[in-house]
Amino acid sequence: MADLHLADGDLNYQLEGPAGAPVLVLSNSLGTDLHMWDVQMPAFTEHFRVLRYDTRGHGASLVTPGPYTIEQLGRDVLALLDALDIPRAHFCGLSMGGLIGQWLGIHAGERLSKLVLCNTAAKIANDEVWNTRIETVLKGGQQAMRDLRDASIARWFTPAFVEAQPAQAAHITAMLAATSPEGYAANCAAVRDADFREALGAIAAPTLIVCGSQDPVTTTENGRFMQAHIAGADLAEFTAAHLSNVEAGDRFTRRVLDFLLG
């Protein structure tokens, strides 16, 4: 683990894998941290120098006053790449991380080799959903985060996965319970205000879109919309809910590797 010293605080990151290998950046979903990618790390680090980080407001990274914007979060990624002297990288983000990936593809495409957008959408939910959640979390504090953990299990995983892998599901959702309420609310605002439906055509990097057929948050229909608006984009669908990288596990890992190495 290491920290990038930004003007307003430290961004926590971890860099693993063979020196000199192509760099792959992994960006976490709302309410998790860089460890949401643990399942992928053994295979990914065989081929890539993997750069994981805790998005601002999450994990061990800085929590600054909100609201945040996806542009702000995207510029954190660019600052991290600059500090580590990485001119270009592959980028794989899930949910909120996928919104960050879209922003990078639109506004900093010259920094991307290939782009993987997982369980995300050009516009996620509506203002009422996010405003209600922001109000609940800021009012209820850490207890509200624990309540969100319990409610999120059904959104993040299918019942079959929770029954088969209860420890894994509990490990991931514990990240949400531990997230700063202020940081979470500030990131909810970033997701609320992001809308790339009219800008997706600017993405030129080769793109893979990953969907979960049982995802109630960002549906396969959302994925197909992005595919239709990003030239040459490919789409993969797994029997999974919102955190397809965890639920689909090795199948997810192999599909992403096939795309990045192809």
pTM above 0.85, yes or no: yes
Q: What is the predicted pLDDT for the residue at 206?
A: 98
- Contact partners, residue 261, CB within 8 Å, separation at least 6: 47
Could you tell me the residue range of the domain that residue 112 belongs to? 2-261
At 64, the amino acid letter reads T
The pLDDT tens digits of the residues spanning 6-33 come to 999 999 999 999 999 999 999 999 999 9
Sign of the alpha-carbon torsion through 177, 26, 2, 38 = positive
Q: What is the predicted pLDDT for the residue at 1?
A: 81
Q: How confident is the model at residue 151 (pLDDT cuts 50, 70, 90)?
A: confident
The pLDDT tens digits of the residues spanning 225-255 come to 999 999 999 999 999 999 999 999 999 999 9
pLDDT at residue 150 greater than cutoff 90: no
The H-assigned helical ranges of 48-108 are 70-83, 96-107
* Measured distance CA(131)–CA(147) in Å, rounded: 17
The pLDDT tens digits of the residues spanning 30-54 come to 999 999 999 999 999 999 999 999 9
Percent of the residues in the chain that have a pLDDT greater than 70, as a whole number: 100
Domain of 230, CATH number, reads: 3.40.50.1820
Q: What is the predicted pLDDT for the residue at 165?
A: 96
* CA quadruple 258, 237, 204, 226: dihedral, nearest 10: 180
pLDDT at residue 257 greater than cutoff 90: yes
As a whole number, the mean pLDDT across the chain is: 97
Mean pLDDT of 172-200: 97
Our CA angle for 52, 102, 36, nearest 5°, is 30
Asked, as a colleague might, if the bond just before 67 is cis with ω within 30 of 0, I would say: yes
The pLDDT tens digits of the residues spanning 82-117 come to 999 999 999 999 999 999 999 999 999 999 999 999
State the total domains in the chain: 1
